[in-house]
Amino acid sequence: MKKERVHQRWMFWKDGQETRKTEIVLPHDAMILEKRSPDCPNGTATGFLPGGKYYYETSLFGRTEWADQRVMLEFEGVYMNSTVLLNNEVVGGRLYGYSNFYVELTGKLRIGEDNRLLVIADNSACPNSRWYSGSGIYRPVNLWVGPQDGIEPESVKITTVSIDPAVIQIQAPKEVHVSVEGVCGSGRDFRLTIPNARLWSAETPNLYTAHVTCGEDSEEIRFGIRTLSWDAQNGLQINGKTVKLRGGCVHHDHGILGAAAWDKAEYRRAKMLKDLGYNAIRYSHNPAGKNFLDVCDELGLYVIDESFDQWKVPQSACDYALHFDAEWQKDVESMVSKDYNHPCVVMYCVGNEITDTGLPFGGAICKGICAKFKSLDPTRPTMIAINSMLSTLAAMKAKQAAEKKEESENVGSKEVNDIVALLPKIMASITPDSLEAIIHDCVEAVDIVGYNYGHNLYEGTHERFPERVILSSETFPARMGTNWDKVLQNDYVIGDFHWTAWDYLGEAGVGLPVYGTAKAPFSKSYPAFTANCGSVDLTGLPESAAMYTAILWGAYDKPYVGVRPVNHSGEEYALGNWRMTDSVGSWTWPGCEGRTAEIEVFSRGAEAELLQEGTSLGRKPFDHCKARFEAVYRPGTLTAVAYDADGEELSRTELKTVGDAVKLAVLPEEKTLSAGDIVYIPIHLTDAEGNRNMSAEKLVGVRVEGAGTLLALGSACPDTVESYQGDCFTSWQGRVLAVVHSAGEPGTIRITASAEGLEPASAEIVVR
């Protein structure tokens, strides 16, 4: 069957507002258009944005050639509880907002006429998520057309049998003919030997295309030749070689675009993370979209695809737990069908921080889910991400309920802030033995056991269960250095995924620094919007934490200098567990002359030296690639020098005070653009030499002319009250980000930025 995107000429409106229809293009997020409110029922989870019920309408013309063909629509993701109608007849839909699904249109289309297609996304039952979910048709929609007896999408599966020689197995529900670079075969279940095969891995992301035909139908399937194996002695092996996963967790939203999953947005994030040294991404905490997996195939990133954040016990009042029993099997089926031919997917996570793991029935559920995954795909390992505190709290509640203690109603159902306050005490009381007594049936069902924030459990667990393969599925960023030691030193620990690789909307303020006190709640009050705990900020700029892991993993070979906010020098402060540091790469702090600056130097090597205006402030040994200094702030230059164990200089970095912001710089990330695509355009406040001034903040206006429209405009500010939908936004650390959508026709896009007191600036992008 042939596929084409159905993204143009959709009409959109909110329930009860049909007279206010607007034309939009897909993908589209309706939640990001809503008005934020401090009394929103979703609260901090979605950054104080509400859900709703939304309608998407378009017209499908019934082409003459479709009369005797099969016609299907594929929705890669609609959040949530969707209903699809064709000419007022219900033809499909899906409850889970992260599953791709197909809708059969064969025999229902009026040939030679326009057909009304209506999609209803009902996200009005709130709260239903612990993070920013978005609303509506936020992932691509595809039209599939082919012969009635043709090749159904996702029905042909390609499996690597061996790599020396390279043998692949083709499985299909009907007889097909397959050609791969001149090697051909036919049947329903057969093998092909690929000579001189180029293997797929993160280092060598080689891809092949299988040309599949069945009668008059044809399809091209992209795949990679690679094998997977895992055990406690060799860890995770790709193509017979042990790899350590240098990972980060990501949520599905794209910052100022909301949840809209544009192809370019998925590529940009994956490419930036790959360049920073990541070789693995944990998609948290729901199934990934197809276009994300496509770019991970291309770039070489290992993916943990995750199924659920809850089973039968809810995390939110209206979440998936209400429907788990009825829905989970078909959602697992959709997930595996989507993932099977993607070499980047190396693991299925059956659940994240599942409360049920602490309850008597949790083991049976876990075994059932794992059995389902294995029946559909025996080639990949299953994993569960255990939060020992939540499992223990659930077990405590169940025990107290059994003993009929009155206080049992409250144990394990506290507000998040209360639980986080108890976290150190609870975590300290958990041992490998005490946890195993609770979760054993669950973890015995999976191939790999992920521990969220469970670094203290690895060694004791390994002593009891030496064959268990362990994954650090979530790590506090401040522990990345010591946790990486555990990964490198222990064959049975296969990798580390810190929280989080990229900042995201919702879970508002979990990493937002608070000054003037040493204590702060887990989440913050309105107008906190982003989690503010990303190693890369909301606009795609690496923060200090991202540079630290890049150095730790050997992806960056110079020292990095970060400076804690000098304007808060001497104050008490709280970062929370989900932020490594509040330092920034700036030595420009106007008005702070004479105050003490706390400085971090990250680098490989044995020692760091810090010089101020060429005068040494001393040398200090690196502790897990970190060294800390103090200096009296005055404008000028800081120089960090890294030395090896013999005292020989390895490399150096300078950090200079920049001049006053006098102009704007419009810096498109691409100079040419395909029609219908989007482009990211950072806009910086700079000094006369073009250096970004991180202390300058201005209201920046953006005008787009020609063959494009402004799709979103915003900054990385974590607690803004501004909307990403306007044409002006206040800069944050001297920067705003614009996203522009091309109109779909060749031409030129001109972007002009302006701000009071600064020289305006423009840039042009050619649309081809």
Smallest CA-to-CA distance from 348 within 400, 258, 283, 397 is with 283
**Among all chains, which residue has been given the structure tokens 């791969």?**
180
Smallest CA-to-CA distance from 721 within 508, 511, 517 is with 508
Q: For residue 265, which phi and psi values (nearest 5 degrees)?
A: -65, -40
Q: What is the pLDDT of residue 173?
A: 97
Q: What is the pLDDT of residue 418?
A: 60
Q: What is the pLDDT of residue 408?
A: 39
Count of alpha carbons within 13 angstroms of residue 768, beta-carbon side: 5
* pLDDT, average across residues 745-749: 95
The answer to whether 220 and 254 have CB atoms below 8 angstroms apart is: no
Structure confidence by residue, pLDDT tens digits, 199-208: 999 999 999 9
How far CA 516 is from CA of 136, 528, 570, in Å, comes to: 41, 18, 9
Mean pLDDT of the chain: 96
Domains of the chain (ranges plus CATH)? 2-147 (2.60.120.260), 157-215 (no CATH), 239-506 (3.20.20.80), 557-572+584-656 (2.60.40.10), 663-767 (2.60.40.10)
14 Cβ neighbours under 8 A, 6+ residues apart:
20, 30, 52, 53, 54, 55
- Residue 165 burial (CB count, 10 A): 11
265 Cβ neighbours under 8 A, 6+ residues apart:
254, 257, 678
**Among all chains, which residue has been given the structure tokens 């890294």?**
642
Structure confidence by residue, pLDDT tens digits, 621-677: 999 999 999 999 999 999 999 999 999 999 999 999 999 999 999 999 999 999 999
Beta strands in 446-502 (DSSP E): 448-452, 469-475, 493-498
Whether the per-residue pLDDT at 149 is higher than 60: the answer is yes
Encoded tokens for 252:
């599905």
Q: Residues for the chain: how many in total?
A: 768
Q: For residue 210, which phi and psi values (nearest 5 degrees)?
A: -95, 125
3-state secondary structure of 358: helix
Q: What is the pLDDT of residue 744?
A: 85
Smallest CA-to-CA distance from 468 within 496, 453, 498, 446 is with 446
Q: Which pTM value belongs to this model?
A: 0.96
Whether the per-residue pLDDT at 219 is higher than 60: the answer is yes
| Model confidence band, residue 405 (pLDDT cutoffs 50, 70, 90) | low
Smallest CA-to-CA distance from 426 within 411, 408, 442 is with 411
Encoded tokens for 398:
């169940």
3-state secondary structure of 273: helix
Structure confidence by residue, pLDDT tens digits, 676-700: 999 999 999 999 999 999 999 999 9
Encoded tokens for 443:
């973890």
Q: What is the pLDDT of residue 16?
A: 95
* pLDDT, average across residues 170-184: 98
* pLDDT, average across residues 342-362: 97
Beta bridge partners of 767: 673, 747
Whether the per-residue pLDDT at 708 is higher than 90: the answer is yes
The answer to whether 57 and 122 have CB atoms below 8 angstroms apart is: no
Whether the per-residue pLDDT at 409 is higher than 50: the answer is no
Smallest CA-to-CA distance from 611 within 652, 640, 636, 584 is with 640
Q: What is the pLDDT of residue 420?
A: 64
The answer to whether 408 and 401 have CB atoms below 8 angstroms apart is: yes
Q: What is the pLDDT of residue 421?
A: 65
| Model confidence band, residue 406 (pLDDT cutoffs 50, 70, 90) | very low
460 Cβ neighbours under 8 A, 6+ residues apart:
431, 432, 433
Q: What is the pLDDT of residue 579?
A: 96
- Separation between Cα atoms, residue 633 and residue 200, nearest integer Å: 50
Structure confidence by residue, pLDDT tens digits, 70-123: 999 999 999 999 999 999 999 999 999 999 999 999 999 999 999 999 999 999
H or E stretch including 398? helix 388-402
Smallest CA-to-CA distance from 667 within 645, 687, 649, 690 is with 690
Q: What is the pLDDT of residue 98?
A: 98
